Structure formats: C-alpha cells, structure tokens
Amino acid sequence: MSEIVKLENLSFRYMRGTVPALSDIDLSVRAGEFIGITGPAGAGKTTLLSCINGVIPHYYAGELQGRVVVDGLEVATCTLHELAGHIGFVFEDPDFQMVSITVEEEIAFGPENLGIPPHEIELRIQDALQKTGISNLRERAISTLSGGQKQRVAISAALGMLPKVLLLDDPTSELDPVGTQEVISALRAINHQLGITILMVSQNMEQLVENADRILVLSEGRLILDGAPREICMRADVLKRVGIRVPQVTEFMISLLLRLNRSPQSDKIPITVEEAAGMFQEILHKGIII
C-alpha cells in the first residue's frame, strides 16, 4: 500500500518551551492503516497530531525541524485551507469544535466553506451520517445529544470534507462505555469500508490493542515503540516504566509464564480476554509446554 503520511526527522519546540515537545520523529504510515498513539501526559501526542494537520507551524509559533508530508502535500508550505480537504481532525471534547445548532448544519459547514455545490453537500451529509450510524439524528439540535452521539457528529463533520486521513485526539476519554463503543464501531467502519487512514490518540490501551493495526508509544517527545499491538504489549517493562497501562490479561500471562520459568513468545502472548482464556485452557490441558 502507498505511503500517506510521512514524518522525517521531525522535531518541534514551542516558543515558550524549554525542552523540545518532539524530537527526531521518523514515521511512515501506509494508506488504510488504523494507528493508535499513546503515551503519558506531556509525551507529545497532541503536538504530533498538530504537526500532521498543519496547526503546527501555521498556528503555533516555535522551532520546527524536519519534514511532514500528508497525501503528497508538504504540510509546512501548504495553507490550512488546502490541507482541510485531506485531513480531518476530531478533538477530545466534541463541544470544543461544534459551530452549528443542528447536526446537518454542522456537517454542511466545512463543505460550504470550500464552495461545494448544494446537491453535492446533500450527498456528503447523507453519506457521513450513514457511515457513523446517526442518520436518524440529522435534524436534531446538537445540544440535545449524548456524548457518544456528539462525538459521531464531529466524526461525520470531518468525513463531510472527504479526508484521506482522520486524526483523533483521545475521542472517547469523556465518554461512558456505551458512547465509547459507538465511536469505536464508527471508526472501524470508516476505516474498513472507506479505507480512511486513522491516527487516534488514546490513553486506553485495551481499546487500542483491540482496534489498531499498529501502536506508537511516545515518551518525552520521542517515539519509543512502534509496532503491532502484540509486539507493543510484549514490552510490558517499557510501558510500565513510562507509565502506560498494560492490558491486564497480557500482564497476567507474562507474569504467569515467568513464574513457570517459561519465556513468553511475542507472537503468542494474549492481548484480549478471549485469547488469554484460550491460552490458559491450553495450559490446563497440555501442561506448560506450549
């Protein structure tokens, strides 16, 4: 698959910052990947997203080094207007980005500003609402919606711009379990059906492990781990050291195997409850030789 986001030697220091917010980040994202980004507070997660959508350097002043290319566009030299049709952004708090009274107005807002003709906007509204499963909310006032519904409106509004890449900054942290599930299902659907590349920041490791193809771990502005969920979970020691929660079932199995004098295999270590149950069953039947 082709490369859709490319970061080369990226470093950034905010104008008032004493230390760099990001240091020497190299990253290549293939079109259609679902990437999870995690790390402790202050690790540079939001800064990284801001460098990809162009908020850095277009809004925030600071010292930027290296290169960011998204969908063939050089982010530092394109205008935000040009980038808007390629990259969508969803904030942690949906209220932060809503500008309209009703759901359909919110989705129409972006395309209207690009001068898209009305019949085309209509198609985009229908499509975006359908993809996030909220067609029934089209006429509703945004203020009457639940958190999970509002966050899906924010995602639909981003989809209305037909982006190739969707960036989300911890979109479920303010939601309850039902709202979280609604948002994750919508994201999986647009990733699978539309092939939109997703980069999602989250503190919820269990959520990333179950949904992302690949996980990036940031700490103190550096990309310290980059790999498939199972590879990342195997590095429980590193995750713990930088203050990231390891999925409980992974922690359990690593620690059980170590107590049995076995070294955990990175291609087999369970990352979900179902996998852990399967592996435990196997140990029960066959003994510890696995």
Partner 1 sequence: MGSVIEVKDLHHRYPNGFHALCGVSLTVAKGEFVAIIGQNGSGKTTFVKHLNGLLRPTAGMIWINGQNIRKRRVSEMARTVGYCFQNPDHQIFCDTVYKEVAFGPQNLHLNQAEIDERVDEALGAVGLLHVKDEMPKELSKGHRQRVAVASVLSMRPEILIIDEPTTGQDYRDGIEMLNLVQRLNEAGHTILFITHDMPMVARFARRVLVFRDGQILLDGSTQQVFAQPALLRTTFLAPPPITCLAQAFPELFPETILSVDKMVEQSLAVLRKREKVMPS
Q: Which of 177, 193, 237, 263 binds partner 1 (CB under 8 A)?
A: 177
Rounded CA-CA distance 159/169 in Å is 16
**From the CB of residue 100, how many other CB atoms can be counted at a distance below 10 Å?**
15
Q: Which of 31, 168, 29 lies closest to 97, judged by CA?
A: 168
Within 86-115, which residues bind partner 1 (CB under 8 A)? 92
Please report how close the Cβ of residue 30 comes to partner 1 at its closest, in angstroms: 28
Handedness of CA 51, 56, 60, 63 (dihedral sign): positive
Stretch that binds partner 1, among 5-13, 51-59, 79-87, 245-253 (CB under 8 A): 245-253
Angle between helices 177-194 and 147-159 (to 10 degrees): 20
The closest alpha carbon to 52, from 154, 226, 169, belongs to 169
Q: Select the residue interacting with partner 1 from 147, 163, 171, 221 (CB under 8 A).
A: 147
List of residues 6+ apart from 288 with CB closer than 8 A:
260, 262
Residue 287 has phi, psi (to 5 degrees) of 85, -170
Tell me the closest approach of the beta carbon of residue 6 to partner 1, in angstroms.
Answer: 28
Please report how close the Cβ of residue 273 comes to partner 1 at its closest, in angstroms.
5
Contacts to partner 1 from residues 181-240, by CB under 8 A: 181, 203, 206
- Shortest distance, position 226 Cβ to partner 1, whole Å: 19
Reduce the DSSP state of residue 161 to 3 states and report it.
coil
x/- mask, partner 1, residues 52-91, rule CB under 8 A, reads: ----------------------------------------
Q: Which is nearer to partner 1, 2 or 261 (CB)?
A: 261
Q: What is the DSSP letter of 135?
A: G
Closest approach of Cβ 278 to partner 1, in Å? 9
Total of chain residues touching partner 1, rule CB under 8 A: 39
**Which window, 4-12, 57-65, 183-191, 280-288, contacts partner 1 (CB under 8 A)?**
280-288
Residue type, 223: L
Task: Quote the least distance from Cβ 173 to partner 1, whole Å.
Answer: 5
Indicate the SS3 state at residue 31.
Answer: coil
DSSP assignment of 86-109, as one string? TEEEE-SSGGGT--SSBHHHHHHH
Kindly list the residues in this chain that would bind partner 1 in the complex (CB under 8 A). 39-42, 92, 146-147, 170, 173-179, 181, 203, 206, 243-245, 247-249, 251-252, 255-256, 259-261, 273, 276-277, 280, 283-284, 287-288
